[in-house]
Structure 1
C-alpha cells in the first residue's frame, strides 16, 4: 500500500453532529514505524551482550490503515475518504464513494467530478500518515553467555516500558514525554533480532533519550528494580508497567518475562572490561558514534585544540569522502588549533599525488599536519584516535580497531566487536609526541611530466555543457592537447578508473566529460573503445530516492552505466570490489599512433553538487534510468573546501604505462 500525508482533515460540510454511540466507528490504532537507521551500531562494553545506536534525526511515522487494515479509498478531486474493505484487484471501491458529492465547496449537494472513471481520481488502498524527526535510541540485547539475541516481544516490550520509566525518573520528566516501541529486526547475517526503541515525543527532539547510551548500565539496573513489581501482580499493574498509554497493551507486558532477561550476567556485561580502562578509573565506554561524540564535545565545551590521529592501510584512505573534514575545517576557521597526526610509516606510503592533495587540503583549511613515530600513538593495547582540550580540561578517545583510524566515510566505525573508550580529566592536553613534516615528506616531488591545475569555480554551470568547459580548461594548460584533438585520427581508447562512480549524479558527470570529446576531430567516435572501471556500491538498507544517492546493487549500477555510456563508443563497464579498484581517479586518452595523455583527478568527479535535489526512480529498468539520468537538467558547482587539484601530462609518445 502507498502512504499519503494529508495537509489537514475536514468533514462533509452538510454532516450534522449527533450523540448516537451506535453509529460511532473507531479506527484501529497502528503502532508507529520507528527508525534509527541512519546511525551506526556501537557494541556494548562486552559485544556478546548486544549493541546500541542513537540517531538524533530518527524517523517516527504514525499511520492509519482504516477500519479493515486495507487502507482508504481517497478522491483526489475533493478529498473524501472511506475505509477500504477489499484490495483494489479484488473489488470496487467503498459504496459510499459511488456517485459521492463534493466534501467541501460547491452549491448544494453537487456531485464530485472525481466520479468520472476517466479521471482516475479515486485512489485505492492508501494509508494516511505523518512523519516527525526526533531523537531515537535503538537497543538490541543478547544473552551474554551464548550471544543468542533476545527476540521475545513481551520481554522486550516490558524492558522498553521499564527503561522509559527509569529514564524519566532520572531526568525528572513525565514518562509520557518519551515514546517506546519494539520491532522485529535482522542482523547483517540475517539472524532474527528484536529492537527496543525509545524516542522523544517532541518533533525535533528534546534531548531526553540522547542520555541513554552513556547511562545504559545505570538505567537497566533501575529498570530491573521496576520489573520486580512491588505488588507481585500476575502480569502488569500500575505499580510496575501499566500507565495511561500502556493500559491497552496488557498482552505484550509481563514484569516476570522482562526480569528474566535482565539477569546478573547481562548487567555485569554492561561494565567496562578492566583491560579497556586505558585512561584510568574515569574511563568510560563511548556508546555513540565517535564523530557524533566529537562534534558534540566541540559544540558544548570550551575547546581550544582538536587532534585527530590517522592510521590503518594507506591504500584505504579516502580523505575526499571523510565526513568529518568539513567540521575540522570549520573549527579551524573559528580559531581552534586542529591537527592531523600521521604515523611516519603511513606518510612514507602516500603517493606523490595523495600527499600533495592532503597538504593542499590542509593548507586551504588551516589544519596542521604532524608526523608521529611509526605505528602511531598506542595506549595499553588500544590506539589513540582523537583528543580535545581546553585551558583546564582534556578529553581523549581510544579504539581497539586499527580500521577505525582510516580517514574516510567509515572513520571511527568499530565493526561488530571493536570498542571505543573515552575519558575527561581536569588537566590540559600535553604536547604530542610529533614533529612537523620534513621537506617533501608529504608534499612529495611530482614527476616532471605532470602539470597541476587548480579547480575552483571554472567548471560551475549547466550540466549539459560540463564537457565543453572541462576540455576547454584542460587545453588552456596543455595546448598540444588542443592541437591533437582538433586534427588527426580520433581516439582509439578512453579509460576511466574511479571507485566512486556509484550514483546517478556521478554517472551523469562522467557521461558529460566523455561526451565533450565528441566535439573534436581527434576525439571520440563510435568505434573508439570506452573502458570504465568502478567499485560496487556500499550495502545499505536506507531507501534510495534521489539522483545523488548510490545504487543499492552492483548489477543495477553496471547495467545503467552500460546503457548511459554505450552511445559514446564501444563501451565496457567493469564493477569490482572496492579493494580491487585503484585508489587514484584516472582518465587516459590513447590515439592509434601511440600518443597518450593521463589525467589524475584528486577528487574524481565527486566535488560537484547540484543546485537542487532531483528525484530518481531506482526501481526502473536500466534503459529508463539511463534516459532519466541523461535528460535531468540542473546546474553544478564545486562544493569542496578550497581548491581541487587536477594533474595532467602533456601528450606523450609511446605505449601507455600501467601507472604513471
Structure 2
C-alpha cells in the first residue's frame, strides 16, 4: 500500500489545550510488518520440532492506518490529515471538504480567503487513502515450531504468547531491557502449509545483534519460557509473566496455559538427537552456527585452550573450500594448533605433501596422524580442549548437512606425523620468504628470481646449464588486477633472458557479476574484461605469453610454475597461498 513517512506532527494551532480525557481518541495499534530476505531455514533437530532463520539485514515496517484501518486523507497544500471512514464510497476529497489551513497564524482570521485551504480548489492536492509508515533495517530472528504430529504450528495464541516469553528470557539472558527487542508473529507459507512464525527483532535501527543471539540459546530459552508460563498463578497473562507496555495491545492473544501443554515432554524429546546421531560422550546436539563461528565462539572464552583441526584428503585438493582455513589463519597468530590427519597417509600425492609442508614449517602448527579405525561414525572436523573437557564437532555420515557437536572426556591418541616429501630419485627444496620480496610490483619479478637462485643451488645450476624452452603457470584464482600483475612480472622477468621462449598462464573462469571493480584488489566482473586487460598488458610487454581460461574444477588446486628446459627436463615450483593472493 501507499504510505508517507512524516517528518514531524502538528495540530491545528487554534485548538485549545484541555484535560477532558473523554475527548481523547486512541488510534488502534498495528504490529509492524517484519520480513527476512534471502535467509535459509535451519533445523534445530533431525526430527520435526523447530526451524529458524535469521538475518542482519531484515526489514521492519511500522505503520498506522487510522481509526478504521482505512488510511488517511492528506492535503499536500497545508499538511492536514484526517482518518478515512470505513466506507469505500466516501472519497478523500469528501473527508477534507472545505477544510481550513492547518497553520494559519496565531491571530483571528479576518478574511475569508485566509480561512479555507487552497487545496480545496485543486484536486491534485488531496491524496488518499494513504498510510503513515516508517521502514528500517535491523537484525531479525524467525522461529517456526511443529506440533506433535509433524505439522507446523498455526495457532496465533500459542505463537504470540511464546514470542513474548522468548523475548523476555532472551533479554534477561543478554542483560538488556526487553524494550530493546521487539516481538510479534506473522502468517507465512512454510513448505506449502500455513504457519505462524514467531519473530524477534532489534528495536535499534541497523541492529544491535541481540535478536539473532536467540539461535545460540533457543533450546534453553524454550525451556525457560515453559518454566515461566507454568510457574505463574494468573488467570491468563499478567505483568509477572507476559504483560508489559509493548504487549498491552495483544492481551486477547496472551494465554500462559497453552504453553505448558504445547511445550510438553514430547516436544523436547523431538528436539534431542536420536541415538544414531550421538557421536560424543555427552551433550550431543545440532550445531546451529557455522563451524568457523562455533570454534571462534568457544575459543573466545579461553584463549589458552588447545585446538585440533581434522584435515581430510579431499580438503587438500582445494584448501580454499576447507571450512576452517580462515579460522586457522586467524587463530594461529595467538595460539598453537594441531592438524590431525585421520586417514592412511601412505598414498599422499606430491601436491598433497607440498600443501602439508606449508603447515609443517609453521612454528605454531603441529601435524599429527590418527588411526582412521578409531574415528567415530561421524566425520570429526574440530576439537577445542579445555582441561578435562573436549568440545568436538563432526558431520553426520548419513546426513552430511547436519553438524553435530558434543563433549568427550578425552581425545583420541595421536602420533607425530613426519613428512617425507619425495622418493630418493627426485630432489626438492623448500624456500621460505619473509620480507625479501617487499617492494613495488615492477620489482617483484626480479626480486622473486633473485631469491630463488640464491636459496636453491639446484635450480641455479640447472639454469646455468640449460635454457628455458617454455613456462607454464597454473592458478585457479587469478581474478584481480594486482595478483595478475605480480604473476606477469615474474614470468616476464624470466622471458627477458630467454626471448625465444614461450609462456602459458592457465586460470579458472569467472562468474559474471554486476558489481564493477573499484580497486586493483577487486575481481573483474567477467572473463571478457579480464582477457581484454591482460592481452593488452602482454602486447605491451612484447613477450610470447598465452592466457587461457577454463573451469577451475579442471585445474589442479596447487599454484604451480613449471619450467621446461631444452633437454626436455621439467622443474616444478609449487607456490603457497601467499603468491598472487
Name the TM-score class by shorter chain: 0.5 to 0.7
Which residue of structure 2 aligns with residue 290 of structure 1? Answer: 291
Which deviates further from its counterpart, 369-378 or 249-258? Answer: 369-378
Q: 2:147 aligns with which of 143, 148, 152?
A: 143
Conservation of the 8 A alpha-carbon contact between 2:143 and 2:199: yes
Which residue of structure 1 aligns with residue 472 of structure 2? Answer: 450
Question: Given the superposition, is the C-alpha separation of residues 60 and 501 from structure 1 closer, same or farther in structure 2, using an over 3 Å criterion?
Answer: closer
Which residue of structure 1 aligns with residue 519 of structure 2? Answer: none
Matches within 5 A, 1:488-527: 497-498=508-509, 500-501=511-512, 504-505=515-516, 508=525, 510-516=527-533, 519=536
1:533-565 CA distances to partner (integer Å, 9 max, x unpaired)?
779xxxxxxxxxxxxxxxxxxxxxxxxxxxxxx
2:169 counterpart of 1:158:
no
Deviation at residue 384 of structure 1 after TM alignment: 1.7
Q: 2:199 aligns with which of 192, 197, 200?
A: 197
Partners of 2:284 and 2:59 in 1: how far apart? 34
2:44 counterpart of 1:44:
yes
Conservation of the 8 A alpha-carbon contact between 2:477 and 2:507: no
Conservation of the 8 A alpha-carbon contact between 2:181 and 2:210: no
Which residue of structure 1 aligns with residue 17 of structure 2? Answer: 18
Helix, strand or coil for the counterpart of 2:332? Answer: helix
2:301 counterpart of 1:300:
yes
Partners of 1:267 and 1:253 in 2: how far apart? 22
Partners of 1:438 and 1:194 in 2: how far apart? 60
Which residue of structure 1 aligns with residue 29 of structure 2? Answer: 29
Q: 1:397 aligns with which of 390, 393, 397?
A: 393
Question: Given the superposition, is the C-alpha separation of residues 231 and 472 from structure 1 closer, same or farther in structure 2, using an over 3 Å criterion?
Answer: closer
Partners of 2:283 and 2:79 in 1: how far apart? 61
Which residue of structure 2 aligns with residue 265 of structure 1? Answer: 266
Matches within 5 A, 1:574-613: 582=554
Partners of 1:504 and 1:369 in 2: how far apart? 41
Q: Name the Cα RMSD after superposition.
A: 6.1
Which residue of structure 1 aligns with residue 421 of structure 2? Answer: 439
Question: Given the superposition, is the C-alpha separation of residues 125 and 263 from structure 1 closer, same or farther in structure 2, using an over 3 Å criterion?
Answer: same
Q: TM-score normalised to the size of structure 1?
A: 0.55
Partners of 1:249 and 1:230 in 2: how far apart? 19
Which residue of structure 2 aligns with residue 628 of structure 1? Answer: none
Which residue of structure 2 aligns with residue 609 of structure 1? Answer: none
Conservation of the 8 A alpha-carbon contact between 1:171 and 1:208: no
1:577-604 CA distances to partner (integer Å, 9 max, x unpaired)?
xxxx646699xxxxxxxxxxxxxxx99x
Partners of 1:449 and 1:325 in 2: how far apart? 30
Matches within 5 A, 1:365-404: 368=365, 370=367, 372=369, 378-379=375-376, 381-390=377-386, 394-401=390-397
Conservation of the 8 A alpha-carbon contact between 2:335 and 2:364: no
Question: Given the superposition, is the C-alpha separation of residues 373 and 11 from structure 1 closer, same or farther in structure 2, using an over 3 Å criterion?
Answer: same
Matches within 5 A, 1:339-350: 339-344=338-343
Deviation at residue 32 of structure 1 after TM alignment: 3.0
Aligned residue pairs: how many? 489
Question: Given the superposition, is the C-alpha separation of residues 300 and 126 from structure 1 closer, same or farther in structure 2, using an over 3 Å criterion?
Answer: farther
1:469-523 CA distances to partner (integer Å, 9 max, x unpaired)?
589647625749x98999xxxxxxx998537445645562533212226648989
Deviation at residue 46 of structure 1 after TM alignment: 4.5
Partners of 2:11 and 2:53 in 1: how far apart? 46
Partners of 2:103 and 2:580 in 1: how far apart? 58
Partners of 1:531 and 1:95 in 2: how far apart? 71
**What stretches of structure 2 of length at least 5 have no aligned partner?**
105-113, 431-469, 517-522, 541-546, 559-573
Helix, strand or coil for the counterpart of 1:438? Answer: coil
Deviation at residue 324 of structure 1 after TM alignment: 4.9
**What stretches of structure 1 of length at least 5 have no aligned partner?**
405-413, 461-465, 487-493, 524-529, 536-580, 587-601, 604-639, 646-660
Deviation at residue 336 of structure 1 after TM alignment: 1.0
Partners of 2:154 and 2:96 in 1: how far apart? 43
Conservation of the 8 A alpha-carbon contact between 2:138 and 2:201: no
Helix, strand or coil for the counterpart of 2:154? Answer: coil
Matches within 5 A, 1:101-112: none
Conservation of the 8 A alpha-carbon contact between 2:63 and 2:133: yes
Q: TM-score normalised to the size of structure 2?
A: 0.61
Question: Given the superposition, is the C-alpha separation of residues 96 and 340 from structure 1 closer, same or farther in structure 2, using an over 3 Å criterion?
Answer: farther
Deviation at residue 13 of structure 1 after TM alignment: 11
Conservation of the 8 A alpha-carbon contact between 1:138 and 1:195: yes
1:312-362 CA distances to partner (integer Å, 9 max, x unpaired)?
8559x75436675444322212x212344444469968794x8757866x5
Partners of 1:161 and 1:92 in 2: how far apart? 38
